[in-house]
Amino acid sequence: MLVTKMNDLYGRDLITTQDWSVEEIEKALDLAFEMKANRYDHPMNSSLDRRTFFMFFYNPSVRTRQSFEAAATELGGHAQFLEPKSMRLKTSKSAGETIEDAAQVMSRYAVGVGIRILETALEYYGQGDEILRQYAANSSVPILSMAHDKFHPFQGLADVMGYRQHAGKNLKGKKIVQVWGKGALVRSWCSIQESIMINSRLGMDVTLAYPPGYDLDPEVIKSCEANAEASDSTFEIVHDLEEGYKDADIVYSRNWMTSNFYDDMGKHGVDAAKKMEIEKAAKHDDWIANSEWMSKTNDAFFTHCGPVDRNAEVTDEVCDGPKSIVYDVAEARLHVQKAVMALTMGKK
């Protein structure tokens, strides 16, 4: 067994994979595959022995909490669940402990801090990223994004692990279509933006397909264009389903909100803003991953980060079909999280 060396990743934050070098990303993925193959007897399974990892959940989750708690346990440590609403933290509307103070105090208690903070806990787009980076600037232990308004690094790593498990380690020249899907769940940009960034960086040909009006962060798009140029791959945006699905090797169908959501939330409240997004999405009935669209591909694998909005983003036939890797990608979250935690905060 090749045990990946710890070296320069110890003490590092992970707010987006774009902040890590390709070599560092590959190091984490290599260790994740080692840990999957030797889940309960890997030499680094005691790297968090008697150590605590704090999990800040501004927004709820299912698989994120489960997978991080399982990861900490399997590394010999403990993941402590924290809800900021039950703590005395300073906000724009209340007095309390500042981020600067909280980060320094938590650094004395734990070996790492994970933060999950999405749209409904924020006042504007980018605020979540700012908060994570403020914690990182004042903490002496690693700060990990468990999904925020801009990025979801562990989902991006899990996606790649799942693709390599089925399509081989060398994905150079393979086409992934990141396609918008209709749905009744108002989805964040974070998983989508992380996906197109990491895959363009690692050499896949990335096609981003969506109806007009669903543009993503222009700075992220610029990063994807630069990534593709550096990796000698392609990145393109299309608004046509036929063009998007054509010759794809991987299909990732996922709903995401319009950029108007933040303004609508500020003016009308969260519930009204969600309702408005659902009404907009309902106008695009064709935007669903079904057998007809999948037949246009290169016998593509289907993936989704979950939870799946079935028969909206994707039909049951495709999601449960022989080319679906949805559950393998979900499992990969555990392995990539174990790898990153061991590398960044484990015993040297």
**CATH label of the domain that carries residue 98:** 3.40.50.1370
157 falls within a domain: no
Quick one: pLDDT band at residue 62, thresholds 50, 70, 90? confident
Quick one: pLDDT band at residue 92, thresholds 50, 70, 90? low
176 falls within a domain: yes
Q: Which tens digit of pLDDT belongs to each residue from 159-177?
A: 999 999 999 999 999 999 9
Residues 51 and 170 in one domain: no
Residues 227 and 138 in one domain: no
Q: Which tens digit of pLDDT belongs to each residue from 36-58?
A: 999 999 999 999 999 999 999 99
Residues 121 and 223 in one domain: no
The answer, yes or no, to whether residue 69 has pLDDT greater than 90, is yes
1 falls within a domain: no
pLDDT given for residue 4 in this prediction? 47
Work out the percent of the chain whose per-residue pLDDT is above 90.
90
Quick one: pLDDT band at residue 1, thresholds 50, 70, 90? very low
Residues 179 and 105 in one domain: no
pLDDT given for residue 123 in this prediction? 92
Question: Whole-number mean pLDDT of the chain?
Answer: 94
For the chain, how many structural domains are there in total?
2
Residues 231 and 244 in one domain: yes
Any idea which of 6-10, 27-31, 101-105 has the lowest mean pLDDT?
6-10
Give the integer Cα–Cα distance in Å for 319 and 143: 34
Residues 114 and 197 in one domain: no
Q: Which tens digit of pLDDT belongs to each residue from 262-313?
A: 999 989 999 999 999 999 999 999 999 999 999 999 999 999 999 999 999 9
251 falls within a domain: yes
The amino acid at residue 51 is R
**What letter would DSSP give residue 86?**
G
Residues 41 and 133 in one domain: yes
**What letter would DSSP give residue 4?**
P
Give the integer Cα–Cα distance in Å for 175 and 298: 9
Residues 182 and 322 in one domain: yes
Q: Under a CB-based contact definition with an 8 Å cutoff, are residues 23 and 163 in contact? A: no
The answer, yes or no, to whether residue 95 has pLDDT greater than 80, is no
pLDDT given for residue 7 in this prediction? 53
Q: Summarize the confidence of residues 106-129 as an average pLDDT.
A: 96
Q: Under a CB-based contact definition with an 8 Å cutoff, are residues 177 and 250 in contact? A: yes
Residues 141 and 179 in one domain: no
74 falls within a domain: yes
Q: Under a CB-based contact definition with an 8 Å cutoff, are residues 160 and 191 in contact? A: no
pTM: 0.95
Residues 130 and 213 in one domain: no
The answer, yes or no, to whether residue 139 has pLDDT greater than 60, is yes
Structural domain span for residue 171: 162-330
Size of the chain in residues? 348
How far is CA 240 from each of CA 212, 250, 257, 288, rounded to the nearest angstrom?
10, 17, 18, 13
Give the integer Cα–Cα distance in Å for 55 and 3: 27
Residues 246 and 339 in one domain: no
E strand or H helix that includes residue 176: strand 175-180
Give the integer Cα–Cα distance in Å for 66 and 69: 5
DSSP 241-289: HHHHHTT-SEEEEE----TTHHHHHHHH-HHHHHHHHHHHHTT-TT-SB
78 falls within a domain: yes
Residues 124 and 208 in one domain: no
Q: Closest Cα partner for 155 from 146, 163, 165, 144? A: 146
